[in-house]
Amino acid sequence: RDLGPEALKALDRELAPLREREQFLQYTFFQQWSALKNYCNQQGIRMIGDLPIYVNYDSADVWLHPEIFKLDADKKPYVVSGVPPDYFSETGQLWGNPIYRWEALRQTGFDWWIRRMEQNGRLCDLLRIDHFIGLESYWEIPAEEKTAVNGKWVPAPGEEFLKTFYQKFPLFPLIAEDLGSVTPAVRELMEKFSLPGMKVLLFAFSDDSANPYLPHNHIPHCILYTGTHDNNTVRGWFDGEASAENKKNLFRYLGRKVSAQEVADEFIRMAMMSVAERVILPIQDFLGLGAESRMNTPSLTEGNWKWRLMPGQITPELSDRLRNLTEIYGRA
């Protein structure tokens, strides 16, 4: 990985055809993406980008900027990313990404992070920071560990970073992915910079009336989803994941029992009538599709992002139904 100048020149000559092919593919992609984004913007459609807080060890970023990551003398991570054990996992989640040297980033005015967000801002109109809590504090795990159990919380300079970022880009619209266990310190950081968080209706029916994902507990300054790309479809959840208690809570909340054929429509209606300023509805839920149309299963490395919307699936009847709901709940 750490080649000298002469070795790099020789490798560049050897791999020139592959490099030029990749350059052409990227050039073509960015041309097409720019045309698509411009068209969407002309139609009044804004595009949301998704920015994972961490990058992969084998990324160009780590190779070019090893000084901003916690790497040993051989440029290998000695600590890695993840999240601690919780209700969903006794061993936590071991992600394995390199951890940032925030002190080194601070000394550059967070230059790499700011350029990263600036570049993503060229590709979209809003940017969601995945695992936003990692900007306030992060779970650091020794690289030799097999699970995330033996990690520790380490504070991060999120407030200083965001303040520096907004001094350069004061109107940049960010969304904080704040799902899961969120501390008061994270909430305070979000409030300080007026960042909207997320609500997911699929998480609403496993608890009592104080569940923050239930519609009557929503706040205006949030982004509401029936489910995200990491969740099942509503129909898929109802058919294969929802417990008897989940369904009981759902029926009590709706005031009646609903069938598998009806449940996605009920979730859409609940979302549209929420006080949330923005609502995002997966097209799979509008179509009432099941688990076979799920976009992504985070625990799987294969088979994700395969679903495609096919010509003819958006019918005039579906468009009329969406228009009707938009008008009824004042979301025009």
pLDDT (tens digit, 9 = 90+) per residue, 206-225? Answer: 878 999 999 999 999 999 99
**What span, in angstroms and rounded, lies between the C-alpha atoms of 184 and 186?**
5
- pLDDT of 21 reads 98
Residue of 50, 61, 125, 130 with catalytic role: 130
The reply to whether 130 belongs to the active site is: yes
223 and 307, same domain (yes or no): yes
326 and 204, same domain (yes or no): yes
Half-sphere exposure of 49 (CA within 13 A, CB side): 20
- pLDDT of 89 reads 80
- pLDDT of 180 reads 76
213 and 331, same domain (yes or no): yes
211 and 318, same domain (yes or no): yes
By mean pLDDT, which of 45-59, 78-92, 227-241 is the weakest? 78-92
- pLDDT of 301 reads 78
Percent of the chain with pLDDT over 70: 99
152 and 58, same domain (yes or no): yes
**Domain presence at residue 23:** no
Average pLDDT over residues 280-309: 93
Judge contact between 41 and 125, C-beta under 8 A.
yes
146 and 224, same domain (yes or no): no
222 and 164, same domain (yes or no): no
**Domain presence at residue 219:** yes
Q: Using alpha carbons only, what angle is made at residue 94 by residues 89 and 96, rounded to the nearest 5 degrees? A: 165
**Domain presence at residue 9:** no
**Domain presence at residue 190:** no
**Domain presence at residue 188:** no
**What span, in angstroms and rounded, lies between the C-alpha atoms of 181 and 187?**
11
Please report which confidence band the pLDDT of residue 205 belongs to, taking 50, 70 and 90 as the band edges: very high
Domain that holds residue 142: 53-124+136-168
Domain count, the chain: 2
**Domain presence at residue 103:** yes
117 and 214, same domain (yes or no): no
Domain boundary pick from 168, 187, 221: 168
Whole-model pTM: value is 0.91
Average pLDDT over residues 40-51: 96
The reply to whether 245 belongs to the active site is: no
115 and 75, same domain (yes or no): yes
The reply to whether 125 belongs to the active site is: no
102 and 229, same domain (yes or no): no
Judge contact between 8 and 81, C-beta under 8 A.
no
- pLDDT of 139 reads 97
Please report which confidence band the pLDDT of residue 48 belongs to, taking 50, 70 and 90 as the band edges: very high
- pLDDT of 300 reads 76
- pLDDT of 154 reads 98
Residue of 50, 230, 239, 277 with catalytic role: 230
Asked if the model's pLDDT at residue 26 lies above 80, the reply is yes
208 and 289, same domain (yes or no): yes
Asked if the model's pLDDT at residue 1 lies above 70, the reply is no
204 and 253, same domain (yes or no): yes
Taking the CA atoms of 133, 134, 139 and 145 in sequence, report the sign of the dihedral they define. positive
- pLDDT of 87 reads 72
Can you say how many angstroms the Cα of residue 47 is from the centroid of all Cα atoms in its chain? 13
